[in-house]
């Protein structure tokens, strides 16, 4: 999560000598092998950057998003890595600022033309938006809410795996909230669609930005009521009840899924 002292901003300001630079080549973050983020003088020529905006500040230090085309050359002592691979390599607080930077970069690249009339858009000066000069339609960064729910039954948790998970990894169930749907309605619908069971006693756990590319994960815990596990074809590769003694491999410790499952394990350990 973003550091508590972080102040979100969006200003067209160049990186200065003391700026924290969130620099991307294509969609890959530039870092040193020891996890340090580059300084402004370590980066490619600023005049060929496709974007350079201050996206916030932390402890009086400006945080600047900069990006270049994927074929742009960069210093040999830097490496370009995906945001997932950056977890654990760069500082936690810097990781979440980089996550914000990548979401804003995705927005900027995906809204270069007006969705209403097709005219090229321009960046707003001090607002996180792009505006069409022809019809004045204004677009803002998308945040796609997704629910995650951990289901408890006695001293067991229902965990499942998607076909795109790393081999052996199981997690809590998750899915996107549909237009016009509440988060609670999405929980009940997704659970029934994905594994064919019903739940009750829905309780809030927490949320986490999920920048792949622009989701907000909203996590809940629920109690099993009825139904036999029936994995949804094409969505759920396997789903099972797991106890403390036979846990599968869990998601990475940076994820809200990991913390949700740990909270569930703590609850059933008390029974």
At 182, which CATH number? 3.90.79.10
Domain that holds residue 75: 6-111
Co-location of 197 and 263 in the same domain: yes
b/e burial code for range 198-220 (CB count within 10 A of at least 16 → b) = ebeeeeebeebbbbeebbebbbb
User: Are residues 258 and 162 located together in one domain of the fold?
Assistant: yes
Residue 45 confidence (pLDDT):
83
Residue 41 has pLDDT above 90, yes or no: no
Q: How many domains does the chain have?
A: 2
Q: Is residue 128 part of a domain?
A: no
Average pLDDT of the residues in 128-140 = 97
Domain contains 129: no
Is pLDDT at 47 greater than 80 in this prediction? Answer: no
pLDDT at site 70? 93
Question: Residue 16 pLDDT > 90, yes or no?
Answer: no
Distance (Å, whole) CA 18 – CA 16: 6
The confidence score (pLDDT) of residue 52 equals 92
Please provide the DSSP assignment of 147-187 as one string. Answer: EEEEEEETTEEEEEE-TTSPTTB-B-EEEEPPTT--HHHHH
Q: What pLDDT band is residue 231 in, cutting at 50, 70 and 90?
A: very high
pLDDT in tens, 158-178: 999 999 998 999 999 999 999
Q: What is the pLDDT of residues 68-109, one digit of tens each?
A: 999 999 999 999 999 988 988 999 889 999 999 999 999 999
125, part of any domain: no
The answer to whether residues 91 and 161 belong to one domain is no
Q: Are 261 and 149 in contact (CB under 8 A)?
A: no
The answer to whether the pTM exceeds 0.85 is yes
Say if 66 falls within a structural domain.
Answer: yes
Tell me, what's the pLDDT at 167?
93
* pLDDT for res 221: 97
CA-based diameter of the chain, in Å?
63
Average pLDDT, the chain: 94
Q: Are residues 83 and 173 in the same domain?
A: no
Residues 175 and 256 in one domain: yes
96/155 same-domain check: no
Both 107 and 173 in a single domain? Answer: no
What pairing do the DSSP bridges indicate for beta strands 61-68 and 51-58?
Answer: antiparallel
Radius of gyration for the chain, computed over Cα atoms and rounded to the nearest angstrom: 21
pLDDT band at 217 (very low <50, low <70, confident <90, very high): very high
pLDDT at 157: 98
Asked whether the CA dihedral 118, 119, 120, 121 is positive or negative, the reply is negative
């Amino acid at each position: 999560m973003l550091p508590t002292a972080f102040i979100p901003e969006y200003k067209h300001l160049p990186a200065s000598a003391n700026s924290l630079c969130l620099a991307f080549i294509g969609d890959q973050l530039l870092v040193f092998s020891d996890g340090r983020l580059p300084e402004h003088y370590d980066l490619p020529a600023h005049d060929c950057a496709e974007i350079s905006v201050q996206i916030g500040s932390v402890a009086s230090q400006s945080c600047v998003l900069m990006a270049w085309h994927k074929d742009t050359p960069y210093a040999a002592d830097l490496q370009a890595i995906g945001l997932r691979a950056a977890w654990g390599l760069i500082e936690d607080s810097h990781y979440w600022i980089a996550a914000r930077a990548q979401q804003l970069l995705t927005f900027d690249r995906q809204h270069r033309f007006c969705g209403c009339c097709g005219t090229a858009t321009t960046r707003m000066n001090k607002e996180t938006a792009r505006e069409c000069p022809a019809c004045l339609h204004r677009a803002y960064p998308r945040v796609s809410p997704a629910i995650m729910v951990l289901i408890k039954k006695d001293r067991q948790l229902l965990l499942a795996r998607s076909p795109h998970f790393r081999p052996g990894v199981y997690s809590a169930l998750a899915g996107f909230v549909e237009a016009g749907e509440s988060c609670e309605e999405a929980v009940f619908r997704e659970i029934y669609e994905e594994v064919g069971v019903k739940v009750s006693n829905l309780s809030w756990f927490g949320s986490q930005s999920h920048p792949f590319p622009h989701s907000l994960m909203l996590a809940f815990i629920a109690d099993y009521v009825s139904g036999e596990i029936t994995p949804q074809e094409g969505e759920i590769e396997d789903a099972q009840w797991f106890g403390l003694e036979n846990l599968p491999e869990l998601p990475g410790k940076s994820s809200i899924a990991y913390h949700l499952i740990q909270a569930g394990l703590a609850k059933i350990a008390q029974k």
